[in-house]
Structure 1
Amino acid sequence: MKAYIKQRTLDEARYITENQVTIRKTAQVFGLSKSTVHNDLSRRLRKYDAVLYESVKKILDKNFDEKHIRGGMSTKQKYESKDVEKSL
Structure 2
Amino acid sequence: MDEDIIRRCIMVAQHMLETRSTVRQAAAKFKLSKSSVHKDMCVRLPQIDARLAREVSVLLEYNKAVRHLRGGEATRRRYRGLQSAAKEV
| Aligned sequence identity (%) | 34
Deviations 1:3-59 (A, max 9, x none): 111110011111111111111111111110110000000000000000000000011
Task: Give me the whole-angstrom Cα distance separating, in 1, the residues matched to 2:19 and 2:84.
Answer: 34
- 4+ long deviations beyond 6 Å: none
Task: Give me the whole-angstrom Cα distance separating, in 2, the residues matched to 1:4 and 1:77.
Answer: 40
1:16 aligned partner: 16
Gaps of 5+ in 2: none
Task: Give me the whole-angstrom Cα distance separating, in 2, the residues matched to 1:82 and 1:23.
Answer: 28
Number of aligned residue pairs: give it: 88
2:38 aligned partner: 38
Root-mean-square deviation (Å): 0.7
Using structure 1 for the length normalisation, give the TM-score: 0.96
Task: Give me the whole-angstrom Cα distance separating, in 2, the residues matched to 1:78 and 1:18.
Answer: 28
> Cα offset for 1:71?
0.3
Task: Give me the whole-angstrom Cα distance separating, in 1, the residues matched to 2:37 and 2:3.
Answer: 16
Using structure 2 for the length normalisation, give the TM-score: 0.95
